[in-house]
A and B are shown apart, each in its own frame.
Chain A
Amino acid sequence: MISNILIFVDDLKYLSDYRKAGVSAFLFALEDFSVGYKTYSIEEINNVDVSNKYVIINRILTSDDIDKLKKIIKKFKNIKGLVFEDVGVYEFLRKLDTNLELILFQNHFCTNSNSVNFWLDKVDSVFISNELTYDEISLITKQAKKSVCLHLFGYNQVMYSRRLLLSNWSEYFALPSKKQNTITDQATKVQFKVYEDKYGTIMYSGNIFNGHELLNLKNVKYFYINTMLIPHQRILQFLKDLNSIDTQNEDDGFLHKSTIYKLKERAK
């Protein structure tokens, strides 16, 4: 077991399992400031007795949210760091005298070495996008001024909407309300997991991203495991053998599949 796994805690009852498996850094989503995750109140998070405790705030925040967050931050106890998406969080925290470690986690951004280093001048670490190839990630880790965070295992976040897409859908078709579902694109047969809460809708990849080969890379602060929607037994199995892969439900995302954006590139 390597020492720098950061795991999202989807249920407090699993904490001891994760600790037994050797995990030493834990991520908790803060109620009212996170979307697409199981969330906890600040009191619940404060009461968790672990040393490397991080809070994730991944919503795109409004000005009112920022005001509320400024107050809640004062209630943080024994929290090592903040993992955040919205640059507004950085902007107000940089003016505060805080000991919190700051880790930028902007989904789909931070895709080149210069941008990553721009941020590493300001924060303690940066999550590298999971839509990059292995070679692109490797280059960034080599050129990064500080150690970075990499996605290791879990459903990749694919889309974030402020709309309540599942509620709208069930209301339109007069179907029972569901807060989780799987949708399939009829043309490509590609599936997506959909998760809705009161702050919007997150769509995750249909397959679990398994990036075990990234474990070879250096200059990594944390390898991140997002446990959301994954059976606990599979998480434990992966923690036991980080090289294990369930080929039915898991893939390596874009590690060996470069995306294109000009159609003529496809024609080549």
Chain B
Amino acid sequence: MKNLELLAPAGDLERLKIACLYGADAIYIGGQNYNLRANALNFSLDDIKTAVSFAHALNKKIYVTVNIVFHDSDLAGLKEYLLKLDEIGVDAIIVSDVVVMELWKNLNLKLELHISTQASTLNYEAVNFYKSLGATRVVLAREASKEEIKRIKDETGIEIECFIHGAMCTSISGRCVLSNYATNRDSNRGGCAQVCRFIFNTPDTDEIFSMTPKDLNMVSHIKEMIDIGVNSFKVEGRMRSIYYIATVIYVYRKIIDKVVNNTLNDAYTKYYLSILNRCANRDSTSQFFNGLPGKNEQYFLGRDEVSNKDFLGLVLSYDEENNMVILEQRNYFKPGDVVEFFGPKTECFTFTIPSVIYDEDDNIIEVANHPQMIVKFKICEKLVKFDMMRLKVFDISQFL
């Protein structure tokens, strides 16, 4: 079978562990400098070391984004940083500025060089250029169609990484400095204020509007992507919640495995699509994969991003002697609620919250209504740490 990789984002160590456990083959992270999420928590060098140890123990890879467009003042410390990443055992860096590519070559680093989507690569000659510099992988521009991806793969043979899920830029990534002009925040150095999602007007009408693209969602096209030679399937969202990461990675892991095993059918595709759309709480489309997106692939007005309350609890432990789960509450639930559990090794199953539930001190409670309170109740199915409990919304039987 082809070498296929599900690549997850992580903004901190907790998210990284969740991504690893829920089925990612590799995780991309940002250090505290030189990455395009300058205002995220990000990873210190010690965190990166921990991340590499954790991931490598599970036979998974860690990629570090070093993908800002550097000003002269940003170059101080870059060489030492790259040497340190190499020493720690990071598997690859993801870069867009040639200054990093050249430094990587001059330092003769062991870690691999991946070209970021910020480099806006859409043709085989551009890939050949990056190959000549030593790159082993290119993250294609999100504007690439199915035919364009296939052509590049066929012509170059390089490892191809494509985004499969998450937020999209209105622009070609890297080719936008709206943020610089509207907010003085440098988008290509990690300060993007997402100005394309702001509200605009024009002089010739009273209508107000945004230019926000709907999210990318490739659930229905994973098989085609595998067939045309995509190697790495990348999920966007280093600043997303653990529930989002767990859900998205869990779903795409299932889909990729089912494609490989030839067991994916329409019912499962629709079921997974419904789960993902509800998790992100946004509409999603395949954007450029099958042609140029039009008005239906954008939001213009009236998009209220009110998060749902589906994520009910994170399993902390399971007492096998007493068949008791101990979990940390994330949203309100009560006895009688129909929920489902899912986890890295736990096949999704439906469950009704029993009539008796307890708090941390074994007091019986009527509802679990305090954020992050510890809740216990009896459940015969064995659960493990990092399993999750969510509101039951969809059932595969609806889609059969």
| Contact of A259 with B184 at beta-carbon distance under 8 Å, contacts A112-B72, A165-B170 already known | yes
Binds A, one of B21-29, B122-130, B351-359: B122-130
Complex contact B198–A187 (CB within 8 A): yes
Q: State in angstroms the CA–CA spacing of A25 and B138 once bound together.
A: 37
Which chain B positions have C-beta within 8 A of A165? 170, 211
Cβ-defined partner of B125 (8 Å) among A89, A175, A182, A188: A89
Complex contact B151–A63 (CB within 8 A): yes
8 A-B interface contacts by CB (under 8 A): A60-B122, A88-B124, A91-B129, A160-B176, A161-B171, A175-B205, A186-B198, A188-B183
Mark each residue of chain A from 217 to 231: 1 if its CB lies under 8 Å from any CB of chain B, else 0.
000000000000000
Complex contact A119–B184 (CB within 8 A): no
Number of A-B residue pairs with CB-CB distance less than 8 Å in the complex they form: 212
Complex contact B200–A184 (CB within 8 A): yes
Complex contact B143–A162 (CB within 8 A): yes
Q: Which 4 pairs from chain A and chain B are nearest by CB? A: A261-B191, A88-B125, A88-B126, A259-B186
Complex contact B200–A183 (CB within 8 A): yes
Mark each residue of chain A from 89 to 116: 1 if its CB lies under 8 Å from any CB of chain B, else 0.
1111000000000000001110111110
Q: State in angstroms the CA–CA spacing of A205 and B209 once bound together.
A: 19
Q: Is the interface of A mostly helix, strand, loop or mixed?
A: mixed
| Contact of A114 with B129 at beta-carbon distance under 8 Å, contacts A108-B175, A159-B177 already known | no
Complex contact B177–A131 (CB within 8 A): yes
Which chain B positions have C-beta within 8 A of A182? 202-203
The answer, yes or no, to whether A171 is at the interface (CB within 8 Å) is yes
Complex contact A86–B126 (CB within 8 A): yes
Complex contact A168–B181 (CB within 8 A): no
| Contact of A60 with B172 at beta-carbon distance under 8 Å, contacts A91-B125, A91-B128, A108-B69 already known | yes
The answer, yes or no, to whether A254 is at the interface (CB within 8 Å) is yes
Which chain B positions have C-beta within 8 A of A107? 175
Distance to closest chain A CB from B100 (angstroms): 9
Complex contact B148–A119 (CB within 8 A): no
Q: State in angstroms the CA–CA spacing of A65 and B147 once bound together.
A: 13
Binds B, one of A15-23, A48-56, A132-140, A233-241: A132-140
The answer, yes or no, to whether A12 is at the interface (CB within 8 Å) is no
Closest to B207 in A: A173
Distance to closest chain B CB from A11 (angstroms): 25
Which chain A positions have C-beta within 8 A of B298? 163, 168, 172
The answer, yes or no, to whether A214 is at the interface (CB within 8 Å) is no
Cβ-defined partner of A159 (8 Å) among B170, B200, B213: B170
The answer, yes or no, to whether A42 is at the interface (CB within 8 Å) is no
Q: State in angstroms the CA–CA spacing of A140 and B70 once bound together.
A: 13
Q: Which residues of A contact B (CB under 8 A)?
A: 60-66, 86-92, 107-109, 111-115, 118-119, 129, 131-132, 136, 139-140, 158-165, 167-169, 171-173, 175, 178, 181-188, 190, 192, 203, 205-206, 254, 257, 259-263
The answer, yes or no, to whether B180 is at the interface (CB within 8 Å) is yes
Cβ-defined partner of A160 (8 Å) among B75, B127, B172: B172
Which chain B positions have C-beta within 8 A of A163? 170, 213, 292-293, 298
Distance to closest chain B CB from A88 (angstroms): 3
Q: State in angstroms the CA–CA spacing of A89 and B121 once bound together.
A: 12
The answer, yes or no, to whether B182 is at the interface (CB within 8 Å) is yes
Distance to closest chain B CB from A258 (angstroms): 8
Complex contact B75–A114 (CB within 8 A): yes
Q: State in angstroms the CA–CA spacing of A160 and B73 once bound together.
A: 26
Q: State in angstroms the CA–CA spacing of A108 and B188 once bound together.
A: 8
Distance to closest chain A CB from B65 (angstroms): 14
Cβ-defined partner of B74 (8 Å) among A112, A118, A158: A112
Complex contact B74–A162 (CB within 8 A): no
Distance to closest chain B CB from A156 (angstroms): 8
Which chain A positions have C-beta within 8 A of B203? 182, 184
Which chain A positions have C-beta within 8 A of B180? 131, 158, 254, 259
Which chain B positions have C-beta within 8 A of A66? 123-125
Which chain A positions have C-beta within 8 A of B143? 60, 162
